[in-house]
Structure 1
Amino acid sequence: MSESGSRIRSVEVIPVGLRYTHDGPPTGFGGAQWTTLRYALVKVCTDDGLVGWGEAFGYNVLSATVQVIRDTLAPLAVGRDAADIAGLMGSLKHTLHLFGRGGPTQYALGGLDIALWDLAGKRAGTSVAALLGGMRRREIPAYSSLMRMPDPAGVARACEKVLARGFTQVKLHEHTVEAVAAARGAIGEDAELMLDVNCAWTPGEAERIVEQLVPYRLKWVEEPIYPPEDFEALARLRQRVPVPLAAGENLANAWSFKAAIASGALDFLQPSVTKTGGISELRTILTMAEMHGCAVAPHSPYFGPGLLATLQLAAHSPLIGQIESFGVRLETPLFGPVGLPDARGVIHLPDGPGLGADPDPEVIEACRIA
């Protein structure tokens, strides 16, 4: 039986493109040059007038994610009880499983799930972190996650600027030992340095190159091997090279993380709340991580409700040491200063119920993709 007024009246997907700058020339990921950061906002309205906000993974697959939400997910969700998050999401995942347990279908489900948690917090007058079991902290350390630079000199310049902004942790998206060496030289020995390879290497290449990276004291090497679900190869690499390994942004759901944990391949699990299925799925991953003594470093290179959802999870879970802050500057942030790092590289939790803040409607309209 539903709570009074908690029936879903509408589910709207709003694609937006946020203009940005970064510390290098134009670049991007996934075979495309990015002129904007493209997200799928999910707006869920209930019969009692409440509005919840979620975010589904977009970027290069934005149009596919939008279509799944608009044409497939929304008609199934309208009329259902928004207060029964577990029941509704379990039903929808089962109904839609034959269209894929990952990719745009899972991204769409995650966007809805985040919005439902936002609604639940607003209805209860408390934060999502409190609903998850308690807010343990209100300040979350962040690391600056740089875009790929053209050469080692560009890497060094970007790292120097990151330190000047107050960060003490930097992540690179590079493929060469020279780039890592330049970064370490720029930030010194005290700052933490991470490397995301984006699955650029074969298992043999990974072993050879990661061995050369040992002197630069990386906190982790992220997704060193293609394909990212080759846990056997990752486990062999972890056994042979004394550098911590991280992965998870491309694992489809909590069941995929179960296999990753069982393999013993990873030191850091990296679920992405907008890709893996939302707060509910990430909550399950956190439970598994706790049972097996794994650290969690969420993937969060976005600035919509997905970032606020990640902050709420980090405020609750002691397994999350720091979160990823995309190393760009936005022309028009969706939440104003909310969710952006301060001069110490720390992000403060917003004070509102649910996710803590709603996106600015004027910014949404200015950045809406037709």
Structure 2
Amino acid sequence: MNSLPRIRSVTPYLYRIPLETPVVTSFGTMRARSALFIAIDDTEGHRGWGEVWCNFPDSGALHRYRLLHEVFVPLMVNQPTAHPVRLMAEVKMKTRILRLQTAEYGPLDQCSAGLDCALWDLYARQHEQPLYQVLGGTGSRMPVYASGINPSGVQETIALAQQAGHTAFKVKVGFAEDVDRHTLQAAREVVGDHFLAADANQAWSIDTALHMGDMLDAFELQWLEEPIAADSADSDWQRLCQALRTPLAAGENMNRLSDFERATCTWGLQYMQPDLAKWGGISECMQVVEMCKKQGITYCPHYLGGGIGLMASAHLLAASNQSGWLEMDVNPNPLRSEVLGEHLQVHDGHVTLSSAPGLGFDPDLQALQGYAQFPTQ
């Protein structure tokens, strides 16, 4: 029996781009975008790509870059490229005490998630299959929706997205009530009867969410995303789901399998939105997909980062064999658009995955040279 190829190198790549037009949310304003990509090379010449969540605050990207170098690279180099689930279980076991000692659960989870994605890409390339097929997917085409749409210039942003092929849209709410009403009115005027969703980014208390819900119901939204904090009491989520006609969505800020299981089984959500670059990678998000299937909940991956994580999210959505939508940020971001090139182009509200192995593309990092950061090791 031939021995498994080993991990020859794990290389993080850090990028940062100041924004001419900031991205405004209810929890803060993004004035720069960062991306932290990971390449894992094996001893047989295969390379897998992953991405670590680091979008807010963008200064946190440097910390995650250093964690990769100081903690994870030494653990992984020269290890056999076993099945990604098994290899990442070993890595998490070896970092368990560090997580407890530092209470750095978020950054360590996000580094692990990016590494998990890179290992799955590597595994699929080793087996010469597209990632979504390795994961059990049967179709390569999926619907998408345009997101990251701020209250300022909402109609202009939607019009540009429509020109780019989008037919479904999600706007930001969670500001003053009159601002939210104006945003939704303006968006509905342009969108017509097409898909329109709203994201409150955890802005409201339960009482405010119930009050706002009456107004939001009038706009016939596809869903209302994170109206209250992700860690709110189960009873608050249950009360909201029962009181509002608008379907509710959540998941991007959950960080334990037990939280996802409780939410899918008891809250009454209609949409679940884990972010594979923020928590769990592909390995654990696939478990969330299975929870959704059992409860009749639609899986719609959350994503608002660079091109590699977006592509991984698309493959996981295809692997779910569900009818969910892929989130696509429509704010200008070369860390997404330049990396992807001609891949994931939107046509009539859909994208189609390549049949090439792994993620189906090799990111064009040369196009990002002007944004590269080179921290001192």
When the two structures are superposed, what TM-score results if normalisation uses the length of structure 2?
Answer: 0.89
Task: State the 4+ residue runs in structure 1 displaced beyond 6 angstroms.
Answer: none
Distance 2:253 2:306 in 1: 19
Change (3 A) 1:101 1:299: farther
* Structure 1 residue 367, shift from structure 2 partner: 2.8
8 Å contact kept, 1:229–1:251: no
Distance 1:247 1:293 in 2: 15
Change (3 A) 1:287 1:101: farther
How far does the alpha carbon of each residue in 1:316-355 deviate from its partner, in whole angstroms, 9 at most, with x for none? 222242100101234461121112323x232221232011
Structure 1: which 5+ runs fail to align?
none
Matched, 1:54 2:50: yes
2:131 maps to 128
1:15 maps to 14
Change (3 A) 1:102 1:265: farther
Distance 1:183 1:155 in 2: 6
When the two structures are superposed, what TM-score results if normalisation uses the length of structure 1?
Answer: 0.90
* Structure 1 residue 133, shift from structure 2 partner: 1.6
1:223 maps to 226
Of 303-312 and 121-130, the range deviating more from structure 2:
303-312
8 Å contact kept, 2:230–2:251: no
2:338 maps to 333
Change (3 A) 1:221 1:278: same
* Structure 1 residue 265, shift from structure 2 partner: 3.5
Distance 1:266 1:222 in 2: 10
Aligned length: 359
* Structure 1 residue 245, shift from structure 2 partner: 0.3
8 Å contact kept, 1:146–1:170: no
How far does the alpha carbon of each residue in 1:239-277 deviate from its partner, in whole angstroms, 9 at most, with x for none? 111110001111113332112113224111001110122
How far does the alpha carbon of each residue in 1:114-143 deviate from its partner, in whole angstroms, 9 at most, with x for none? 111111111111111111123x22222110
Give 1:125's aligned amino acid.
Answer: E
Change (3 A) 1:94 1:263: farther
1:157 maps to 156
Give 2:186's aligned amino acid.
Answer: A
Distance 1:360 1:318 in 2: 29
Distance 1:266 1:110 in 2: 24
Matches within 5 A, 1:185-196: 185-188=189-192, 190-196=193-199
8 Å contact kept, 2:35–2:52: yes
How far does the alpha carbon of each residue in 1:192-222 deviate from its partner, in whole angstroms, 9 at most, with x for none? 1000000111100000001111110001000
Matches within 5 A, 1:1-370: 4=3, 6-17=5-16, 25-29=21-25, 31-35=28-32, 37-59=33-55, 60=57, 61-98=60-97, 99=99, 102-134=105-137, 136-150=138-152, 154-175=153-174, 176-188=180-192, 190-331=193-334, 333-342=338-347, 344-370=348-374
Distance 1:181 1:212 in 2: 11
Distance 1:101 1:267 in 2: 31
Structure 2: which 5+ runs fail to align?
175-179
Distance 1:31 1:80 in 2: 40
Q: RMSD across aligned C-alpha pairs, in angstroms?
A: 2.1
